[in-house]
Structures are given as C-alpha cells and as structure tokens.
Structure 1
Amino acid sequence: MRIILLRHAESLGNVDELAYTRIPDHALPLTDAGREQARRTGPVIAELAGDEPLAAYVSPYLRTRETLRLLDLPTERVVHEPRLREQDWGNLQEADDQAVQKRLRHEFGHFFYRLPFGESGADVDDRVAAFLSELELRRPDPLHPRSVLVVSHGLTIRLLCRRLFGWSIELFESLSNPGTCEHRVVELVDGRWKLDRPFQQWRDSPDGAVQQ
C-alpha cells in the first residue's frame, strides 16, 4: 500500500487569521491563489498515482474538499472521513483569545495542551490511529486500491506519520507542518513504512529522536 498525504491548498484562514472570528473553521474556503495551487498540484499527484486506481480519503472541511475537487483526479472511491479533520479549536473564535491559546499551546506543547473548547493533539492522535487501523483492515481486500490519497491538514498529517512510524511526542512537536498543497508519500516496503522525504524541523528533538 502507498499513501499520498496532501495538505489542503491555501485557505482564507492561512492569509487572514481574523477569518476564524466570523466563519467556522470547517467552512473556510480556499483563496483564489489556493484554487490555482490545487489545479497545479493535480498533475503532480496524478503522476505519483500512475495508472493505478486511487482511493481518496478527505477531511470533510470545505478547504480539503475543494482541494480534492480541483485536483481533478480519477478516483475509484471518495470517502469524506471526519477523523481526518483539523484539530478542533471550538466554534467561532475570538481573536485575542486565539492569540493567547496559541501562545499557551506553544509553551505547554502541541500534543498535550487541550484547547478549552476543543481538542488536544493527543485527541487528534487517537482518531487518526483509529483511521489507520481501519485502513489496515482494508489493505488485504483486492477490491481496495493499493494507492490511497489522504487530503487533510498539517497537524493531522504529522500525527498520521507519528503513528505510522512510532515517532516520539518530542519529535512530533519538533516538526513543521507541510506547506499548503505540499505532499509526502509513505509506502509499505517489506513490511515497513517508508517516508519519501522528511518533514522540516524547527528544532532538534529534545530526546534525540530522528525521522526514520
């Protein structure tokens, strides 16, 4: 099995943090630049998939669904998968409190800090683990495509890899999100998952762990 992990294209929230105060996170659309970004990325993902059928699992947020649509890929099946959604920050956000929560999360750690009206990174980790377990059950099914496209969010993608590779929490917290419409490919080779290229790190992991 091969999994292509793709972060959504540029959304309104990526260029205007105040958008979260008037539009629910799940309803934030792509920008015009993001739509063009997704269109340009379509041939890249098509080349990665090759001639094999493709199963797409997509976060139900608007920006991820728009990204998948604009990739314009032939897919054998498309599943809107809530377990792949962004970390939940609650409903409409207040700008000053949002800044405070981001500061506290950075100081406390992105994995364990629980947002007052939302999730911790650990909560997201639990739900991506459930998704991966279900995907593993489908792997022997000859009717399920061998190539899988996951269109999701930066933190969610990092946690998917943390689960697949058994990375430490310290290493996870040392990694940067992929850029918008940036992809990674993980492939099962001789019973072990392989990552096509590492994530950028903003610091060395405090426990000495490395991506492998």
Structure 2
Amino acid sequence: MEELHWLAVVRHGLSTGNVTAQEAEESGAESIDIPERDADVPLAPLGSEQAEAVGRLLRDDPPDLAVVSPYLRTRQTAELALAGSGVPMVVDERLRDRELGVLDLLTARGVRARLPDEARRRDRLGKFYYRPPGGESWADVLLRLRAVLREIRQDHPRGRVVLFAHEATVLMVRYLAEGLSEGELMELAHRTTVANCSISSWRGTAAGLEPELFNSVAHLKQEDVPHTRQEDVNAEPV
C-alpha cells in the first residue's frame, strides 16, 4: 500500500470542559460540573483563537482532506482552522474521544474516593488494557484508529491529511505510526501533556511514516497554551 505524503493530528482548542475539569482537579473536588454531554462541550473563547492560529499555520501548505471527530469542540476547531480554505472536511465518529463509562465526570480524587475497586483494578491492569464499566480501554480506541488510518491510506495515497481529534488520539496515532510498544506509549502519556491546538505530524517515506513534529505549539503564543507546563511541551522536531 502506498504511504501518505503527510499526516497530522491537531488536538481541539481549549474547551469549556477543559477549564472546568482543571479547576475541579486543582480544588480537590471529586466531580466535574460540566452540564453538557461530552459530545456537546464547546470551545472556550481562547480555544477559538487557538483554532484560528492553526488555520494560519495550514494556510501556506493546506491539506487535501480533514477528518474530524464528531464532538462539537473538535468540529468547531476544524471549521475555524479551515475557514475559507476549500479543504474538504469529513466527520468520522471513530475519531471521538475515549469513552470513560462510570469514570465520566470524576476527578482522579473522585475515582479513588467513590470507586476504589475500579481504581485498584485500573492499577492492576494498567491504563492500556483497563476498560471502565460502560467505557473503553486504550486498546479499544486503537482498534477504531487502525481502521481509520487504513482507510485513509487506501483512499488518499500520497495525500496530505489532517485529523482534528483529542488528546489521547494524538498519543495513539504516534503509537501506530511509529510502532511503539505498550510501555513506550504509557511512558509517553505519563510525561506528556498534549496541548490544545498543538500539531503532531509525520512525513511519508519509502519506509513508512517518519516523525516530523510532536505536540508542537510554535504557532501559538505562549499565553495561548494554558494548563500546560512548558517542560511538558515538545515543540521541536522529533
């Protein structure tokens, strides 16, 4: 199968849910007070500005196709980034965020306090294989992503494709593109905060997809990257 010319993943811009979740974690609360269902959480005003910055980045060398998670914050990011570009946008539900089941709307403290058996089961199985009741494991999400990437390769050989998706998606696409092990993926997840509207990209070569950028925020102003310690953000080529 002929390889893509270029593949990129953009995490959605800062959402109102990101802000509320961060405040809940920092205050020591057990639950996160988000009124919408996860699929309907919108961008915060700063998230919209971040999405427009992505658009300026893509303007000089636009992709051939954008494949987008159906969640509102992700669609809004793609629409703002691609406004006026003429780039076709396809919404694919397989790019949705990981479903958390019974852990939804709980902080880390809340999971330990309210669902101690699940916390212990997660510790025993590890994040890669742990599936919360009603939710998905990382391995479950990878099954979706494998299918998406296989179809993109088949339908757009030598194409330039950008995905607009979620934090875990960025890490998992890197796992698939670079052939990482479970341990390497979990170590990457432990030490990396994927910034809102960061871009990660790979170039197609005869040997497959070669890493180009990971979690880059060079197109954003420093004040546009909230909730992210600078040492967590690798904005350099990999």
Query: Into which bin does the TM-score normalised by the smaller protein fall?
Result: 0.7 to 0.9
1:33 aligns to what?
Answer: 46
Looking at structure 2, the residues matched to 94 and 14 of structure 1 have their Cα atoms a distance apart, in angstroms, of 11
CA separation of 1:103/1:11 partners in 2, compared to 1, >3 Å: closer, same or farther? farther
Could you list the runs of 5+ residues in structure 2 that have no partner in the other structure?
A: 22-31, 217-230, 233-237
* Partners of 1:54 and 1:75 within 8 A in 2: no
Kindly report which structure 2 residues correspond to 1:27-106, keeping only aligned pairs within 5 A, or say none: 27-47=40-60, 50=61, 54-71=64-81, 72=83, 74-90=85-101, 93-95=104-106, 99-100=110-111
Equivalent in the alignment of 2:201: 185
**2: distance between equivalents of 1:85 and 1:39?**
22
Cα gap change, 1:90 to 1:132, in 2 (>3 Å): same
Deviates more, 1:58-67 or 1:38-47: 38-47
Aligned residue for 1:5? 9
Q: Mean alpha-carbon deviation: is it higher for 165-174 or for 99-108?
A: 99-108
Verify the 8 A CA contact 2:199 2:213 in the aligned structure 1: no
Residues 67-146 of structure 1 mapped to structure 2, 5 A cutoff:
67-71=77-81, 72=83, 74-90=85-101, 93-95=104-106, 99-100=110-111, 107=123, 108-140=125-157, 146=159
Task: Tell me, yes or no, if the aligned pair for 1:25 and 1:91 is still in contact at 8 Å.
Answer: no
Structure 1 unaligned spans of 5+:
203-211
Identify if the C-alpha distance between structure 1 residues 96 and 194 changes in structure 2 by more than 3 Å, giving closer, same or farther.
closer
Q: TM-score, normalised by structure 2?
A: 0.72
User: What's the counterpart of residue 209 of structure 1?
Assistant: none
Comparing 172-181 and 123-132, the one that deviates more? 172-181
Per the TM alignment, residue 98 of structure 1 is displaced from its structure 2 partner at its CA by 7.9
Identity of aligned residues (%): 29
How far 1:19 moved relative to its partner?
A: 3.8
Do the aligned partners of 1:24 and 1:92 also contact (CA within 8 Å) in 2? no
1:172 and 2:185 matched:
yes
Distance 1:128 1:3, change over 3 A: same
Indicate if the aligned counterparts of 1:3 and 1:149 stay in contact, CA closer than 8 A: yes
Cα distance in 2, alignment partners of residues 185 and 97 from structure 1: 30
Partner SS state of residue 213, structure 2: coil
Q: CA RMSD in A?
A: 2.8
